[in-house]
Structure 1
Amino acid sequence: MLKPLSLALCLAALATPALVQAQVQTRAYAPENLRTLSHNDQVRVISLEYSEQSGGRRIPDDQLRFYLDQVNRSNWTFSRIKSDIATSLGGGGVGPGPQPGGSIRCESTDGRPRTCRAPWNGYSRLLRQLSKTPCTEGQTWQSRDGNIYVSGGCRGEFGPGLSPPVPPVGQTVRCESNDGRPRTCQVPWNGRTRLSRQLSSSACVEGRSWQQQNGSVWVSQGCRAEFVADYQVQPPVGGRRVSCSSNDNRTTTCAWPPGYGVPRLIQQVSRQPCIQGQTWGISSATAIWVSRGCRGVFGN
């Protein structure tokens, strides 16, 4: 009869090299304080943990960089990394929990739209972009009533934002495209801008001969008009309005806030036709897609 020590040695000898290697690679190398590891070992630990939780998928480069930064700057522990990975892979339309300093991560994975509930009410602001895909307010992310909507691959860290100020009564900015030349005019407010009064015989059509950007207005094709601040806190009576544009004929997905029913085309602002099922459609309960140059305002 084999002695207990001999039996243990025999069992160890029967273990396959792959199994032993897997056991070494999974938990033994992962101390709680990841700052004690070299950079390469930090990368290996985090990458393996993500692979284990995701069923073999590779961690996105920007998410890996975010974790490395949190480990070395914010002293995130291995348990914190594991928990955050689990949350980011959980899905279900609910975003990751609050981060230090009163922030929350919301991620559009694989370009899919997502809604994240923030632990505060009102507006949110982008604190840090985590994705290579731009997080542009009004295009790939927006905020309303404690919800954050992301789409198009935007992955970011968000925090509570100040409610927009009441626009000054009567304050306007005139912007003119003389001789059809494009022009950019600065405006003394942040957020959205709307056309107040058209001054030219040439049509001023948003998305075609004028468009807004944070802090400025751009006009072209002879559009001359007066513009005012447009701080729209609540959606219009009867529904929600979302602008979605296919630039350079590319297919674009825009977030549609949940709970507002089925969207429809309210206004076409492009020269290219917007035809449901051909150049625009509904990809999910929280997303609209446009293609082949369709630019429009959608609502219900």
Structure 2
Amino acid sequence: MKRNLSILLALLCLLALAPALAQAPRAYAPENLRTLSYNDQVRVISLEYEDQSGGRRIPDDQLRFYLDQVNRSNWGFSRIKSDIAQSLRGSAPPPSSGTQTMRCESTDGRGHTCRTPWQGHSRLVRQLSRGDCVEGRTWQSQWGQVFVSGGCRGEFAESHDAPGAGGNRVVCESTGSRPRTCPTPWRGSSRLERQLSSAPCTQGRTWGSSRGEVWVDDGCRGVFGPGQGQGWGPGAYSVTCVASGPGHTTCAWDRSRGRPYVMELLPNARCVERHNWGYDDRVGLWVSGNCRARFGAR
């Protein structure tokens, strides 16, 4: 009888202590993580990320970044916890300098677009990933948003440079001959500055541009910059031609201007020369199918 009573009292004590134990702070890591072995550092950082993210696994490049900060920059465990919380929220608070920043991260190499609290373009102020953040290749800026890919994780601030200033360039690549659309940090048309692929990059056939983006196809890979005058110069001759109905639609073109080229695609259009648009001196400029574009003179 006495034995049963002792067991009952012990159970009651444990039940009384349960709330306090549940509220006790986690004690699986000291503040100075450098006192732990490498494997224990990996374990406690991974556990903290799982706790804050609801069970998700920490990305490998983010884990390597934290290990570097612990062993090279003396980050404490509280700093790691705070940074994990900021990364899961997707933005960082303004630094003491008063410059507003936001964080944008490509996890597992996937592309990700982040809205910015400012309306203009952005600049990279701090790289957080081991993978390089290279403008035009693994990150790009547009009005009111930042796009990252290839494992780039960084903090961004508003840029006061004019669009296209500072040599802004975009690398756009069709891999596996599949089409791809790349956002550009300028709002107008684009031009091919350097071909990177052995497959030809032919405007209107394997690459083209519309306002704020470049598309590539059939293995074209190239470096693109802003079009001259962004394609909207006050003295530039251009004609907008839109296919309507079956068959060809012809549009007036001043022969003295030379041959036309696709200056800018209209939304959701695709124009391929000699397939759904063309020009000859007898017929003039013609379009068909889903070709809808603004044409300029060569």
Larger Rg: 2
TM range (shorter): 0.3 to 0.5
Q: TM-score of the superposition, structure 2-length normalised?
A: 0.47
